[in-house]
Amino acid sequence: MQTMLLLNINPRLEEDLVDYLLSKEFIDGFTSYTVHGHGIHSDMSLTEQVSGRRKRIQVEAILNKENIDELLDGLKENVGTDIVYWEQTISNKGRID
């Protein structure tokens, strides 16, 4: 079964995360883009609190469910902390060439 793993990270972790994901043979590719997080203000800077958002990077990777734990286990050591993640089941996937 395939799963889409979404990682929402602090922008300072982006290069380390890209390097880490590229080192994993079970990941064929991934997509990353800039997003804005909204939520708990206690750990936001004053500027972020005023604007009501903080810059984040979101990464989406489709991989086999059995590889998720291995990938997550290495994040703290190889990338860092301030990472939020979730999974979404993939019901269909293909490529139109």
Domains and CATH numbers, the chain: 2-87 (3.30.70.120)
Three state DSSP letters for the chain: CEEEEEEEECHHHHHHHHHHHHCCCCCCCEEEEEEEECCCCCCCCHHHHHHCCEEEEEEEEEEEHHHHHHHHHHHHHHCCCCEEEEEEECCCCCCCC
Q: What pTM was computed for the model?
A: 0.85
Residues of the chain predicted below pLDDT 70 = 39-42, 44-53
Q: What is the pLDDT of residue 44?
A: 64
Summarised one tens digit per residue, pLDDT across range 32-49 is 999 987 766 667 666 666
Write down the pLDDT at residue 36.
83
